[in-house]
């Protein structure tokens, strides 16, 4: 059964559409065929938002509350403590196990999220080279002693494509690229994901005009603030970070909404400036997500504000199920409204 993925920028309504699709794409329960009943097994949702993996990070990530999940089973939510670092490789392993289990139950899987790398890791051919603490420590020490530009120049000689993609300012990714090259003996780009599904899948992208998206982002930030975002950050952050909890780890502390509140508590901004920064950074994140998914020709784009959105999405799924649409992305699709 084809996996359905709902992707696109933040604040476009992906979670709502995923819930609607999960209800509409139910499969007949075993033993009901010919019984005259209409009992169905709802589809199951698999989260592909990196920050919704964290327990307690609810308001700031727009996580659907349990009471609003319509009884639909959700996977890959609340599986990490905020102090833990997220791992795409670990997510790939556990997320694919969820897809296998869902298929084994005869149910449909609906993947939803805006973390492009996580979607690719779940659906596409993507290998994760191991790590070597000694190599990484040596490279990090060199970055400190020689400067990141020196390491970036080295990367340019070994893998020009990777160097161009990463740029000279991202020390963490430069170090990782050089680590992978040393471990595998191959260019870093040779390990990047290919646009090749590991199981039948179809991606539905939600987009809208920039003006509409900006308004949606502003409204979302207002709702988060009123719903207690500041209290949520306080309950998760460590005393050193200005809160009362166990602390936000290296990954969680970078989440939009959380990072800005912490900056306010450190005295770097005012409350009003923190709130404005969350809105601006959320808009920036939406642009980045659109750029990521917009480069994938396999995504079928729909207008997030269309009144017939569910019907249009179901039509795409039906075509994919009937093998009427190419899943390899060999034909052009409609340009996104925000492009």
Q: What are phi and psi of 332, to 5 degrees?
A: -70, 150
The string over 107-120, giving b where at least 16 C-beta atoms fall within 10 Å of a residue's C-beta and e elsewhere, is bbbbbbbbbbebbb
Question: Is residue 9 marked as binding?
Answer: yes
Residues 47 and 226 sit within 8 Å (Cβ to Cβ): no
26 is in an annotated binding site: no
Classify residue 181 as exposed, middle or buried by CB count within 10 Å of its CB (0-12, 13-18, 19+).
Answer: buried
101 is in an annotated binding site: no
3-class DSSP state for residue 1?
coil
- Find out whether 11 and 220 touch, Cβ atoms under 8 Å: yes
Q: Is 338 annotated as a binding residue?
A: no
**Whole-Å CA distances, 317 to 26, 97, 139, 237:** 13, 23, 46, 42
Check whether 156 is labelled as a binding-site residue: no
Please check if 27 is assigned to a binding site. Answer: no
- Whole-angstrom Cα distance, residue 101 to residue 97? 6
Residue 62 counted as an annotated binding residue: no
189 is in an annotated binding site: no
Q: How far apart are CA 299 and CA 88, in angstroms?
A: 21
Strands 40-41 and 27-28, bridge-based pairing:
antiparallel
> Could you tell me which residues are annotated as the binding site for substrate?
10-15
> Could you tell me which residues are annotated as the binding site for ATP?
8-15
> Could you tell me which residues are annotated as the binding site?
8-15
């Amino acid at each position: 059964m084809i996996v359905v993925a709902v992707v696109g920028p933040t604040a476009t309504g992906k979670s709502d559409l995923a819930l609607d699709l999960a209800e509409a794409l139910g499969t007949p329960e075993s033993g009901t065929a010919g019984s005259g009943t209409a009992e169905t097994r709802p589809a199951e949702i698999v989260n592909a938002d990196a920050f919704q993996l964290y327990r307690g990070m609810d308001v700031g990530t727009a996580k659907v509350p349990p009471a609003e999940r319509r009884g639909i089973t959700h996977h890959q939510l609340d599986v990490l403590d905020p102090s833990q670092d997220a791992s795409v490789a670990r997510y790939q392993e556990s997320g694919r196990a969820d897809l296998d289990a869902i298929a084994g139950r005869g149910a449909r899987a609906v993947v939803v999220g805006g973390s492009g790398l996580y979607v690719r890791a779940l659906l596409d051919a993507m290998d994760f080279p191991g790590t070597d603490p000694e190599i990484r420590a040596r490279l990090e020490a060199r970055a400190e002693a020689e400067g990141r530009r020196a390491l970036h120049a080295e990367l340019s000689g070994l893998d020009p494509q990777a160097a161009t993609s990463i740029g000279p300012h991202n020390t963490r990714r430069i170090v990782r690229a050089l680590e992978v090259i040393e471990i595998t003996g191959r260019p870093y780009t040779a390990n990047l994901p290919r646009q090749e599904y590991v199981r039948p899948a179809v991606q539905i992208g939600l987009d809208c005009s920039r003006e509409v998206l900006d308004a949606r982002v502003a409204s979302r930030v207002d709702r988060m603030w009123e719903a207690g975002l500041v209290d949520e950050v306080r309950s998760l952050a460590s005393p050193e970070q200005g809160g009362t909890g166990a602390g936000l780890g290296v990954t969680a502390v970078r989440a939009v909404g959380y990072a800005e509140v912490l900056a306010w508590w450190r005295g770097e901004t005012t409350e009003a400036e923190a709130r404005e920064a969350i809105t601006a950074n959320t808009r920036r994140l939406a642009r980045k997500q659109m750029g990521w998914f917009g480069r994938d020709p396999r995504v079928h784009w729909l207008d997030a504000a269309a009144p017939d959105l569910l019907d249009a999405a179901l039509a795409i799924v039906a075509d994919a199920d009937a093998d009427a649409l190419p899943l390899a992305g060999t034909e052009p699709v409609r340009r996104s409204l925000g492009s």
